Amino acid sequence: MCGIVAYIGPKDASPILLEGLQRLEYRGYDSAGVAVVAPVTKSAPAKLRLCKVKGRVADLAAALPARFKGGAGIGHTRWATHGVPSDANAHPHTDNEGRIAVVHNGIIENADELRAKLAADGAVFRSETDTEVLAHLVAAHRAEGGELEDAVRAALKLVVGTYGIAVLDAGQPDRIVVARNGSPIVLGIGEKEMFAASDVSALVRYTRQVVHLEDGELATVRADGFRTFTEDARTVTRQPSTVDWEVGSYDTGGYAHYLLKEIHEQPGAVERTLSGRLDERFATAHLGGLNLDARELREIRRVKILGCGSAYYAGEMGAQLIEELARIPAHSEPASEFRYRNPVIEADTLYVAVSQSGETYDTLAAVQEVKRKGGRVLGVVNTVGSAIARECDGGMYLHAGPEVSVASTKAFTSTVVAFALLALHFGRIHDLSPADGRRIVAGLKALPDQIRQVLEQQQEIEALAAEYAHSQGMMYIGRVRGYPVAREGAQKLKEISYVHAEAYPASELKHGPLALISPELPTVALVPDDELLDKNLTALGEIKAREGRVLAVAHRPIEAKHADHCLVVPKSEPELDPLLLNIPLQLLAYHAAVALGRDVDKPRNLAKSVTVE
Ligand code: AGP
């Protein structure tokens, strides 16, 4: 949610800032802006130049004056929280004199109070944002003398809320000051040049050497290096680490959209999630990062999974896997609701936080609530070193690779695979037999090729999507293992095509939603070849009897009296079937969105990482 990039060095900053913003645009895309310090000339001191517009980074690039030069600069791509998307509300924000510029991710909770005080002292506010108070606060402290970093520290002491910020000062053009509290900031180390960003994706083109700031830390970034320190001015030493994601991971790689690319990357993503973790000899999984020994794991009586949106639905599939394979009661709950019901935290419950980005504020806050009350939390996270990963006591990284499209696909699949590994590991120290363990190991190993087989049906799914996309709405139904698949399928269609979709357990149809069934409201039905097949077919018969159209996703062709169309996916082990049943639904949503002319990778009103409540 919002992206920050900063550069200082011998090159011209603006092309680097624009390139970085383009890579960060998936985080927010309603407005964008940059500020640079124009170089000192014989006749003029250094001064700030600012350009910001409502719209995309491409609109900013088009609006940028030809001679927008400067060796230090900051940029921002916004997803509105305070104030509508507009030129005025776009970042950077400046003080009255236009000498201090600030870009900010997060929320300043006491902005109204600070704004009133600053206005009384003469600050002129030009936007409706909470961020603008930071520019005025820093300027007020700079006016008292001292260095930029001292003014930023003093300003942040007055602020309540979350932030990742970068601050530029025309009076000290040799530095940029950045700070982090609840919103990530990462420094990039170059050759006589330095970068900073909210996300490594903006940096990988220029450097692999990065330093992640911790909450409560600041850094002064100069062309020749950086210094990290706390809000109390205590110097802290941070060692650089090397980013292993390729720059190509952030390109569409010849696909029409990131979403399509990421759907097609799933076989490789699953291979990486499984890599080095399957133990065929003992028919189990090795999970090095759990930080729990077998005795501690055996003492766990319950598993509670916390995540938002698709991460929550992946958690529902995870809970099902844990209950089936380990026979431990498991439940997935929206992390966004969890802390507001004053949850009972039990010592023998294992809490598992799920997040692709590792930044989702609601999930992070849920983890903190569990830890505050003495609970133990594992993370199932894609982004290495992210806030949630660091807050957890242990966990598993997905290694799915960067996911850029707002709608989650490969991270979703890898999350469910990670839960299958966890369930297998748990199961084998409880009652799961070696034979069943071997069955699951073989099922997991077969998944990448089976996903490839499903992806080969793309053309057929594209044709079906064109037929169904113009429906008034869609119903998604499934039973037991199929129900979370239905929920995720409906979510994918909603978020990228804006076609209303509802998911129900097929068994619930007669208790209400059957009233909706008509030729205008088709049903996508998950019909796995399992013990509920006959019951699922009965539900489809009821829909057809009411002139409802049915698209079945099944393990064998479904007769015309039960379905108008059928997509057949390969059979896995029953516990793993949901993984494969979900893949056609991703392609269906993608092609429906394309058929309707939607902005597939950047759907309206949504952002990739939701770092606010
Ligand atoms: C997924 O398609 C959605 N964009 C959204 O529900 C997402 O899964 C959710 O916001 C959680 O994100 P996270 O995995 O980064 O925590």
| Residue 355 CB less than 6 A away from ligand 1 | yes
Classify each residue of 197-214 as buried b or exposed e, where b means 16 or more C-beta atoms within 10 Å of its C-beta: bbbbbbbbebbbebbbbe
Please determine, for residue 505, whether its predicted confidence score (pLDDT) is greater than 80: yes
Question: Is 608 an active-site residue?
Answer: yes
Mean pLDDT of 192-212: 93
Q: What is the pLDDT of residues 66-116, one digit of tens each?
A: 889 999 999 999 888 777 889 999 999 999 999 999 999 988 999 999 999
Please tell me which residue in 2, 51, 308, 392 is annotated as part of the active site. Answer: 2
pLDDT at 411 over 70: yes
CA-wise closest residue to 188 among 47, 27, 60, 19: 19
Ligand 1 midpoint to CA 446 (Å): 27
Q: Cis peptide before 329, with omega less than 30 degrees from 0?
A: no
Secondary structure (H, E, C), 280-322 = CCCCEECCHHHCCCHHHHHCCCEEEEEECCHHHHHHHHHHHHH
Q: What interhelical angle do 577-595 and 458-468 show, nearest 10? A: 60
CA of 434 to the centre of ligand 1 (A): 35
Q: Output Rg (C-alpha) for the chain, integer angstroms.
A: 26
Q: Residues 172-198: what's their mean pLDDT?
A: 95
Q: Whose CA is nearest to atom 9 of ligand 1?
A: 309
pLDDT of residue 384: 85
Look at 33 and 239; give whichever has higher pLDDT: 33
Cβ contact 440:573 at 8 Å: yes
User: For ligand 1, atom 2, which residue shows the shortest CA distance?
Assistant: 407
User: What is the mean pLDDT of the segment spanning 396-412?
Assistant: 95
Indicate if ligand 1 lies below 6 Å from the C-beta of 609: yes
Query: Do residues 118 and 132 touch, judged by C-beta distance below 8 A?
Result: no
pLDDT at 40: 67
pLDDT, tens digit (0-9, with 9 covering 90-100), for 490-500:
999 999 999 99
Q: How confident is the model at residue 201 (pLDDT cuts 50, 70, 90)?
A: confident
pLDDT at 385: 81
pLDDT the model gives residue 28: 74
Please give the average per-residue pLDDT across 460-484, as a whole number.
97
In this structure, the residue with its CA closest to atom 3 of ligand 1 is 407
State what percent of residues in the chain have pLDDT above 70. 98
Does the annotation count 308 as an active-site position?
Answer: no
Any ligand 1 atom below 6 A from CB of 305? no
pLDDT of residue 438: 98
- Ligand 1 test: best mutation among 312, 332, 359, 360, most atoms within 8 Å of CB? 360
pLDDT band at 610; cut points 50, 70, 90: confident
223 phi and psi angles, rounded to 5 deg: -55, -35
Assess whether the C-beta atom of 396 lies below 6 angstroms from ligand 1: no
Q: In terms of Cα–Cα distance, which of 590, 532, 540 is closest to 561?
A: 540
pLDDT band at residue 358 under the 50/70/90 scheme: very high
For tokens 């294992």, what's the residue?
350
What's the mean pLDDT in 389-409?
A: 95
Ligand 1: does its nearest atom lie under 6 Å from the Cβ of 611? no
Average pLDDT rounded to a whole number, residues 368-383: 96
Ligand 1 centroid, distance to 272 Cα (angstroms): 21
Q: Hey, whose CA ends up nearest to atom 4 of ligand 1?
A: 407
Ligand 1 pocket, residue 311 CB under 6 Å: yes
Residue 609 Cα: closest atom of ligand 1: 15
Q: CA 207, CA 431: separation in Å to the nearest integer? A: 49
pLDDT score of 515 more than 80: yes
Q: How far is the CA of 310 from the centre of ligand 1 (A)?
A: 5
CA of 308 to the centre of ligand 1 (A): 6
Instruction: Say which of 47, 54, 602, 608 is annotated catalytic.
Output: 608
